[in-house]
């Protein structure tokens, strides 16, 4: 027996990866799962990133500065200006090892152990893990499948603000629901934060992935200088660069930035080659490349929704149409969606294929929520999505009989 800290024991396994062992075993048996469980885009990253890697390759890989290369931060600020028509100061950015590290830095610097952050259930599951690591208590307010996962009224949120509340955290567009919150909704949260002296932490990892020509919402557009607002960002999704591990924090408050920098110095630096390659990419990306990306995911979303309506609704599957990110939550006619997702990997196959889904209950922190839901990531081509829905429907019928 070895000693394990309470913090590590309380950190939940990722619901996105928890069933991976069964997927590996299925593959070993010759059954290939459609991986709809993880937000790992199948699209290639921009060719200019690959060029950047070759240009950056050197036999002397030095540490980058802890705050990130200035030239990368300048390229990032210029890219944000081109995409969002906002002017941001490169010195307000800190480069992190993905958005994940940025979030851990924020939980650590904005809160003491026992302090609270308000979140909206369901939300990105790893927030629960970050909270356990840092001793932060997440106070979850539920948003409901039945009304399209809209945010609670400010008055309801206000009732949950205590003397220990330090921040409100919003993922926009939301993983796992795909809901895109507009500027007015974000502004309402910001008003509350101003009233009670809280931080507003905005996770904009999926910011440009929005559908139906809707405007992109970003706090960078209207709260660029607000010391209470931090925008968390990542190169992982919009550039298909999950493995590059580059994220940024936009932190207007000099005091908060300095404290985050102290944490960043303790971990030395974010990856050197990836920053250099990403800088080259940002400076040379052809205009309109995100338009193509949005078009591609929108076509996949539409294909998935059509397949679910045509084949899934008769089988008792219902879902909300996402307006952003590349996920949707589906309600299944089963009591325990985790058991069903596992069954698909361990006991079911159709002509050598099956489907790998994320049970949604791990995205809820209110116990008992989301038991009959799964998250589907539409990160595969349309033919695969259609086939995956067929398998899902047949698998459901096999499971229920
Ligand atoms: C909402 C959200 N935030 C943060 C992350 C972490 O991103 P990164 O790969 O930049 O660490 C993810 C990854 O899926 C995510 O969905």
pLDDT at 98: 98
Is the confidence at residue 143, as pLDDT, over 90?
no
CA dihedral 99, 104, 105, 107 (to 10 degrees): 120
- 204 within a domain of the structure (yes/no): yes
Do the domain assignments include residue 11? yes
Cβ distance 394 to 354 under 8 Å? Answer: no
Report whether residue 99 contacts ligand 1, using a CB cutoff of 6 Å: yes
Cα 203 to ligand 1 centre (Å): 8
Q: Would the CB of 125 count as within 6 Å of ligand 1?
A: no
Ligand 1 centroid distance, CA of 128 (Å): 13
Residues facing 119 on adjacent strands:
140
| Same domain, residue pair 313 and 266 | no
| 183 burial via Cβ count (<10 Å: 0-12, 13-18, 19+) | middle
Hey, which bits of 235-390 come out as E strands?
Answer: 247-250, 318-319, 327-331, 353-356, 358-359, 373-377
The whole-number average pLDDT for the span 99-121 is: 98
| pLDDT tens-digit map of 361-390 | 999 988 899 999 999 999 999 999 999 999
Q: What is the distance in A from the centroid of ligand 1 to the CA of 251? A: 18
Alpha helices in 95-182 (DSSP H): 98-110, 126-134, 154-159
Q: State the distance from the centre of ligand 1 to the C-alpha of 229, rounded, in angstroms.
A: 19
Q: How far apart are CA 120 and CA 366, in angstroms?
A: 10
* Any ligand 1 atom below 6 A from CB of 175: yes
What confidence tens digit (pLDDT) does each residue in 314-352 have? 999 999 999 999 999 999 999 999 999 999 999 999 999
Average pLDDT estimate for 57-83: 93
Residues 312 and 169 in one domain: no
Considering the domain architecture, whether residues 169 and 206 belong to the same structural domain is answered as yes
Ligand 1 touching residue 41 (CB < 6 A): no
148 lies in the same domain as 54? yes
Question: What mean pLDDT is predicted for residues 299-311?
Answer: 96
| 127 shares a domain with 170 | yes
* 137 touches 157 (CB < 8 A): no
Tell whether 138 is covered by a domain: yes
In a domain, residue 1? The reply is: no
Do 74 and 148 belong together in one domain?
Answer: yes
213 in the same domain as 335: no
Q: 202 lies in a domain? A: yes
The residue from 284, 311, 329 where one domain ends is 284
Domain finish residue from 251, 284, 317:
284
Q: Check which CATH number belongs to the domain holding 76 and give it.
A: 3.40.640.10
Question: Which residue range is the domain that position 220 belongs to?
Answer: 47-284
165 falls within a domain: yes
pLDDT at 13: 78
The mean pLDDT value of the chain amounts to 95
- Indicate the SS3 state at residue 81: helix
How many domains are there within the chain?
2
pLDDT digits (tens, 9 = 90+) for 162-183: 999 999 999 999 999 999 999 9
| DSSP strands (E only) in 338-397 | 353-356, 358-359, 373-377
Indicate whether 347 and 237 sit together in one domain. Answer: no
Query: Do 167 and 197 form a contact (C-beta atoms < 8 A)?
Result: no
Give the tens place of pLDDT for each residue, 18-65.
899 999 999 999 999 999 999 888 999 999 999 999 988 777 889 999
Are 268 and 342 within one domain? no
Residue 18 lies in a domain: yes
Confidence of residue 105 (pLDDT cuts 50, 70, 90): very high
What is the predicted pLDDT for the residue at 211? 98
Q: Are 247 and 325 within one domain? A: no
My answer on whether 269 and 320 are in the same domain is no
CATH number at residue 32: 3.90.1150.10
Candidates 195, 184, 177, 175; CA nearest to 219 is 184
Using CA atoms, how far apart are residues 226 and 7, in angstroms rounded to an integer? 33
Asked whether 172 lines ligand 1 (CB < 6 A), one says: no
Single residue among 284, 311, 333 that ends a domain in this structure = 284
Residue 247 Cα: closest atom of ligand 1 = 10
pLDDT digits 0-9 by tens, 196-253: 999 999 999 999 999 999 999 999 999 999 999 999 999 999 999 999 999 999 999 9
315 and 279 in a common domain: no
In this structure, which residue's CA is closest to atom 4 in ligand 1? 99
Instruction: Out of 103, 105, 236, give the residue to mutate to test ligand 1, the one with the largest number of ligand atoms within 8 Å of its CB.
Output: 236
With cut-offs at 50, 70 and 90, classify the pLDDT of residue 303: very high
């Amino acid at each position: 027996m070895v000693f394990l800290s309470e913090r590590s024991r309380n950190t939940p396994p990722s619901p996105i990866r928890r069933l991976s062992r069964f997927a590996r075993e299925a593959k070993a048996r010759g059954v290939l799962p459609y991986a709809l469980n993880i937000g790992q885009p199948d699209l290639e990253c921009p060719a200019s990133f690959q060029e950047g890697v070759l240009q950056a390759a050197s036999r002397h890989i030095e540490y980058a500065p802890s705050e990130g290369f200035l030239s990368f931060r300048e390229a990032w600020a210029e890219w944000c200006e081109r995409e969002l028509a906002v002017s941001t100061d490169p010195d307000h950015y800190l480069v992190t090892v993905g958005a994940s590290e940025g979030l851990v830095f924020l939980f650590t610097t904005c809160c003491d152990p026992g302090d609270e952050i308000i979140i909206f259930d369901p939300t990105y599951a790893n927030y629960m893990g970050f909270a356990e690591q840092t001793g932060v208590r997440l106070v979850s307010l539920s948003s409901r499948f039945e009304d399209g996962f809209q945010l609670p009224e400010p008055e309801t949120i206000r009732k949950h603000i205590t003397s220990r509340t330090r921040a409100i955290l919003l993922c926009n567009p939301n993983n796992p629901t795909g809901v895109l919150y507009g500027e007015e909704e974000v502004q309402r949260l910001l008003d509350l934060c101003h009233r009670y002296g809280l931080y507003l932490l905005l996770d904009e990892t999926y910011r440009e992935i929005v559908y139906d020509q809707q405007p992109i919402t970003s706090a960078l557009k209207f709260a660029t200088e607000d010391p209470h607002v931090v925008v968390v960002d990542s190169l992982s999704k919009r550039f298909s660069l999950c493995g590059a591990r580059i994220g940024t924090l936009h932190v207007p408050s000099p005091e908060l930035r300095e404290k985050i920098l102290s944490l960043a110095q303790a971990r030395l630096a974010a990856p050197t080659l990836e920053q250099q390659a990403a800088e080259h990419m940002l400076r040379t990306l052809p205009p309109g490349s995100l338009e193509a990306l949005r078009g591609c995911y929108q076509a996949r979303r539409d294909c998935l929704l059509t397949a679910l309506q045509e084949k899934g609704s008769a089988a008792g599957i219902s879902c909300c149409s996402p307006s952003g990110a590349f996920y949707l939550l589906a309600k299944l006619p089963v009591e325990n969606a985790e058991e069903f997702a596992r069954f698909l990997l361990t006991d079911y196959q159709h002509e050598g294929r099956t489907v790998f889904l994320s049970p949604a209950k791990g995205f809820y922190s209110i116990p008992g929520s989301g038991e009959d839901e799964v998250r589907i990531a539409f990160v595969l081509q349309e033919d695969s999505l259609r086939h995956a829905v067929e398998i899902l429907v047949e698998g459901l019928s096999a499971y229920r009989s």
